[in-house]
Structure 1
Amino acid sequence: MPSPYPEPDDTCSISDALSAVYTCYSFTYQALSYYRYGAKSDCTAKWEQFKFCLSVKPKPAEEAREMIRERRAVLEAEAKKKPSSLDVWELRDKPPENFPPEANWSTHPLVDTSTTAV
């Protein structure tokens, strides 16, 4: 029997969604995104969440909970398809063969020998 009280993930707060949109368009957020990634942040997903919350509010409680659960499942499935920062690295069992590299001082001298003193 489902609980008569909504779980925290089964609710959609319009004020939280609007706050996320406002934060996304703020100068600080956009400047930080430009600094980190070289481009402005795309706030489309935050707008979509805000519009979704607006569409859920007039629905009956059980229907709203089901819509929120379905949306969460779709968003989680999409997030799993996206590349992760963990995809960049390859796990090694042993260090590379040339590690640590040997210093070759004849090709990389510590002192610049290209100029000679007269």
Structure 2
Amino acid sequence: MSSLDFEATVKQEEAYLRKVHPTAEDIPSCMKFFDLFLQCNVVAAQMKSLYRYGQMSECGQKLEDFKFCMSNKSMHPQEKYDAWIRRRAEWWARRRMTTSSEDIWEARTEPLRGYPPERRNLDSSPTVE
């Protein structure tokens, strides 16, 4: 992953996030991040992860998000907003530029030929006399 491509991807993500979260009031509160961290650690969430993925949930990123939020408490709201946008944009950029389980499929550029199959007209079926 080249740093030039990464920076361009971060810029794209920042532009998108600024549209989705246009003001400082639109970013999640530290309490929200703490709730997400706690929800990740409850027994039900851990059991679901164990069942689906064969391992316990890793909640470290949620804890890091909470700690990042708490470290920004003394910042001016606009500075906090900019820092949050940048952090989320970097997270999304890393996610976009690395492999994922979805990479095993190649996106089609055109639909399959002959799919979906034509429906038979039930009115034109032969009648039995």
TM-score surpassing 0.5? Answer: yes
Deviation of 1:34 after TM superposition, in Å, equals: 0.3
Unaligned runs of 5+ in 2: 1-22, 114-129
Q: CA deviation at 1:79?
A: 1.2
Q: Is the 1:12–1:53 contact (alpha carbons within 8 Å) kept by the matching residues of 2?
A: no
Q: In the alignment, what sits opposite 1:81?
A: 97
Contact 1:12 1:68 in 2 (8 A): no
Counterpart contact for 2:72–2:80, Cα < 8 Å: yes
Sort the Cα spacing of 1:19 and 1:59 in 2 relative to 1 into closer, same or farther, 3 A.
Answer: same
Corresponding residue to 1:34 among 50, 53, 56: 50
Instruction: Say which of 21, 32, 36 aligns to 1:16.
Output: 32
- Taking only the aligned residue pairs, the percentage that are identical comes to 33
User: Structure 1 residue 27: deviation in Å?
Assistant: 0.2
Q: How many residues align?
A: 89
Structure 1 stretches lacking a partner, 5+ long: 95-118
Tell me by how many angstroms 1:73 deviates: 1.3
Higher relative contact order (CA 8 A, sep 6+): 2
Aligned residue identity for 1:80: R
Query: Once the 2 structures are TM-superposed, how far is the Cα of residue 55 of structure 1 from its aligned partner?
Result: 1.0
Cα drift, residue 65 of structure 1? 1.4
TM-score between the two structures when normalised by the length of structure 1: 0.65
Q: Whose helix proportion is higher, 1 or 2?
A: 2
Counterpart contact for 1:24–1:30, Cα < 8 Å:
yes
Any conservation in 1 of the 2:33–2:65 contact (CA below 8 Å)?
yes
Q: Cα offset for 1:19?
A: 0.6
Misfit runs of 4+, over 3 Å = 90-94
